[in-house]
Each structure stands twice: as C-alpha cells, then as structure tokens.
Amino acid sequence: MGKMSDSQKFPVAAHALAYLAHKGAMSAGAAISSAELAASMPTNPVVVRRVTGMLSKAGLVATRAGAAGGAWLLKPAESIGLDEVLKAVDGCAHLGMATKGAAGCPVGERIPDRVREVLAAADLAVRDRLRAITVADLLK
C-alpha cells in the first residue's frame, strides 16, 4: 500500500468520524477498531490508522493501540465542523499548485500569481461551506 493520496484523507476522515458517531463511540470502552472502520469504507486499516492519528492530534478523537484498541470521539458530532476535519488532515481544496511560469515571458511571469489567488479564493470558499456542515449532518 503506497502513500495515501492527499485527496483521500478528508473523505476517510469524514467517514470515520460519522461512523464513530453512528456507533455512539464516545469513550474508550466503546472504541471502534481500525479494521471495523476500514471495512465500512472499504479501505485499508493502515490508512484508517494514519487518518485517525491526524484526527487525534487535532483533538477530535482519541485512539488506543492493541487488541482492545480503536478510536472514539472526544466531541459530540454536532460540534465538529467539516472545516475542522479538513484542517486536521492538512487538507485544502486540492485544485493543485500554481505552475512556475517561464521567466521573460510576459504572460508566464504573471499567470502563476493569478492562479495562486484563484486557488486561495477557492480554498476559502470550501472552508466557509464546510464550516456550515457538521459530522452529525452526514448521518441525516
């Protein structure tokens, strides 16, 4: 299994959080294993562990290793905005990076800056839209 594509981190994270909410996993005693989370997507448990690790660093879930291990929510699903989830997995709108542009070309020198502005605006729009949607909304 190679490196998880950045564009998959957010969907995996959103799915995992919604699944934990659906299962009522709000404490260590109710932890859901990465194998069960992975089977729900379906994806590899290693991918799920990588993403739940990022969600843990962001304070959205707690995780425990071992046979009785797994993940559980640290906050109610209603209070987790999808913008927080995107931020937790270092996400952005994934429209790519601006090209370098050719030095000495009047067009090539200016376009990268314009493209960067467009990408930044799109990223902001995505975050604003995601802020209005919670993990709980995904279960409706």
pLDDT for residue 97? 73
Tens digit of pLDDT at every position of the chain (140 positions)? 345 666 789 999 999 999 999 999 999 999 999 999 999 998 999 999 999 999 999 999 999 988 888 999 999 999 999 999 999 998 665 667 777 777 788 788 888 888 889 988 988 898 899 999 999 999 99
Is there a domain that residue 107 lies in? no
Domain count for the chain, please give it: 1
Is there a domain that residue 128 lies in? no
pLDDT for residue 1? 38
CA 47 to chain centre: 12
Q: For tokens 């927080």, name the residue.
A: 84
Is there a domain that residue 54 lies in? yes
Is there a domain that residue 105 lies in? no
- Which parts of the chain fold into alpha helices (H)? 6-22, 34-40, 45-57, 82-88, 106-131, 135-138
pTM for the whole structure:
0.84
Side chain identity, residue 34: S
CA distance 8 to 13: 9
- Residue 16 structural domain: 6-91+134-138
CA distance 24 to 14: 15
Q: What CATH number should be reported for the domain holding residue 22?
A: 1.10.10.10
Q: Which of 131, 56, 75 is nearest to 64 (CA)?
A: 56
Query: Which residues does 106 contact at the CB level (< 8 Å), separation at least 6?
Result: none
